[in-house]
Amino acid sequence: MPAAKDIQRALARIRAAMPAQKKTAIGHRNIKLGLERISRVVPDEQKWIGVHVGGTNGKGSICALLAGMFKLSGLSHGTYISPALPERHNGITINGLYINKRMYEMEIQHVEEAYKRIASGWTFAGDVGLGDLTPFELETAAAFRVFNKMNVQYGIVEVGMGGATDATNAMKEKAVTVISKIDLDHQEYLGNTIEEIAKVKAGIMRPGVPCIVDHTNPASVMDVLRDHAQSVGTQVSLSSKALPLIEDLDQDRFKLQDYEQQNLLCATLAFRNLFPNLSIDVNKLLSLKPQLPGRMEQVNVSGLTSGTRQKSILVDGAHNMLGVEALAKYVDGNLRATSEPVSWVIGLSSSKSKPFSKIIETLIRPQDNLAFVEYTPGPNDPPPAPAELGRDVAAQVIKDESRLYGGEPTIGEGVQWACGKAGEGPVVVTGSLYMIREFYQTQGVEPSRKIKTRRPGRSQLWRYIRLSQERPLTSEEAREFKQARRHWHLSPMKSSVFRDVRGGGSPAPPSTSENVRKLQQTAAHHKNQADGYGKAIRSIKKDLEGRENDELSKNLQHLEKQQQEHLSAYNSAMYKVRGHVVDPDKKHISHEDIFGRPEKRKTRITALLPEEDATQDEQPPPSRWLPSETQPKKGGR
């Protein structure tokens, strides 16, 4: 069995053999701990109250549980977790909905531009600069801006790495902090012992702010946390105090693993500290399935396997020993029927401190099937561990070579192979969250839990208006532009349907005549028919690519004629509904229409003469908002 040193030597040899371009692309991660850079770009005013969750394992799940409690209590909240799955903007949610992708991009751009403006005026002793923002600092500052802009009351924030020097610790106001189970992880950044790591993670504590700690942490870790709490001026509350709060938990319905119960205890006690008078229905909470993507999730891969695998597979981002041991316990207790083999798809990141061989040996059994795969690293992702090395380690446990995948180590092909070997038996995809992210982006993969996205707001509407005047929009942009316009037209500020609600009344039902309703139904019918013909036309055109077929060509001409007739009938009906032909320029709403006219700035005029000598004919300067006939006449001083 290879030792850890042998594995590290092998990794070094593989990296040395890589082409120079590939080594440069994945060999360096832009991780710089510290608050010097991000403190200059986070908003000066924090309009929301922070709930800061740190630890090694379970901190993301605690955030999800807290968000579920806030949702059930009707409390406005935002959450920020990392790494985000499946897309980067999915790390930020507002009241349970993903933020719009364009809003995320706009806030990222704003933070980048603000940092460049500020950094250009800095001077440093010895000409040593702080450098650019790291990707995580950029995302964190953008998340804080989103919380401010969306006017949430509370922000639930997961620590990225460590605690004291993590970018999320730049938040200005916290109501409670939570520290989950602590174990060895990221030793190259946080320290080589669990006590050193605990000291760094304790840095999220604040004076007078209660700190909830997972009571199953080792005694040495608890000593470090208590000492730090005393030095800061706060106190530690053990999660075991929440046991009475979950005594009504339906154990038969919700069979929680040990670590899941610890996460629930931490979240419940933190919520009780925040809101002592609010009740917590844990059964109702768990029925909402408040879990993060890629954490003990059932995923449908029938599309990926061309229908050969109908049963869902288990996906869990277990990437350190705590998570791996918990996953192995769950699989052995719930998925293995006596000696039934489990088909694994594993992909890990390359790390100097990760117990590579121990992770694989903890999960697999001699009768199992294993596909060790590699993900494609992003700009700031760690490189993947080589598939050849994972296969060699697994060969020490699985002696039958036919049970080890030897093909192209891509995630899609590895999952297809594992499903083929398993039949309807259990399949588990696990490892690095970066690998899980790529798996979720693979065509044909459908997670069981789907979170909706917030509709585009006024800022996105104005952005699309400007963009549409510069170039043609993509199909996705056009769809979101249409959605943003519809959302704006139906907003309470714009639509008369909702205006009565402000005065305490109920919304007035829109009055639509029977004639208009029939015209709308006619238009909808012709639009559906035209869309159906459009699909048939596209299908026939694909069949005609590269070959001639007179019969198909005639059918195509007939279908195109029918489609045009339906489109003409649709436009005719909609013309009668609207009362006018569609004006393409109408979609270009003005900035003033969207955001309103800015308030006139009230400037204090200081008289140059003594007050008693001031004349009455002094006039304020002309306003660009006043019509020309109301502008002050010339001649006034």
CB 637 within 8 A of CB 620: no
CB 255 within 8 A of CB 397: no
- In tens, the pLDDT along 525-570 reads 999 999 999 998 988 888 888 777 778 888 888 899 999 999 999 9
Bigger pLDDT: 629 vs 450:
450
Same domain for 327 and 218? no
Q: Residue 625: is its pLDDT beyond 50?
A: no
Residue type, 103: M
Same domain for 361 and 224? no
Same domain for 328 and 210? no
627 within a domain of the structure (yes/no): no
- In tens, the pLDDT along 135-194 reads 899 999 999 999 999 999 999 999 988 888 889 999 999 999 999 999 887 777 777 899
Same domain for 233 and 360? no
Bigger pLDDT: 279 vs 52:
52
DSSP category for residue 636: B
Dist CA 11 CA 447 (whole Å):
33
Same domain for 218 and 85? yes
Same domain for 240 and 304? no
Q: Which residue(s) pair with 404 in the sheet?
A: 370
3-state secondary structure at position 316: strand
Same domain for 231 and 304? no
Same domain for 92 and 66? yes
Q: How confident is the model at residue 633 (pLDDT cuts 50, 70, 90)?
A: very low
- Any idea how long the chain is? 637
CATH of the domain at 207: 3.40.1190.10
Q: How confident is the model at residue 212 (pLDDT cuts 50, 70, 90)?
A: very high
The H or E element containing residue 468 is: helix 458-470
611 within a domain of the structure (yes/no): no
Contacts of 183 (CB under 8 A, 6+ apart): 56, 57, 194, 197, 320, 321, 322
Contacts of 142 (CB under 8 A, 6+ apart): 92, 104, 107, 108, 110, 111
Query: Could you tell me the two tokens for 617?
Result: 């004919």
- In tens, the pLDDT along 568-597 reads 999 888 888 766 555 555 556 777 777 777
Same domain for 470 and 530? no
Q: Which of 440, 470, 491 is the last residue of a domain?
A: 440
Q: Which of 288, 318, 352 is the last residue of a domain?
A: 288
Dist CA 407 CA 637 (whole Å):
86
- Report the number of distinct structural domains present in the chain: 4
Average pLDDT, the chain: 82
Q: Which residue has the tokens 């009241």?
A: 95
Domain range spanning residue 526? 514-542+552-577
613 within a domain of the structure (yes/no): no
What pLDDT does 133 receive?
Answer: 85
Same domain for 430 and 343? yes
Burial 407-435 (b: 16+ CB within 10 A, else e): eebbbbbbbbbbbebbeebbbbbbbbbbb
Query: Could you tell me the two tokens for 283?
Result: 């059964």
The H or E element containing residue 120 is: none
621 within a domain of the structure (yes/no): no
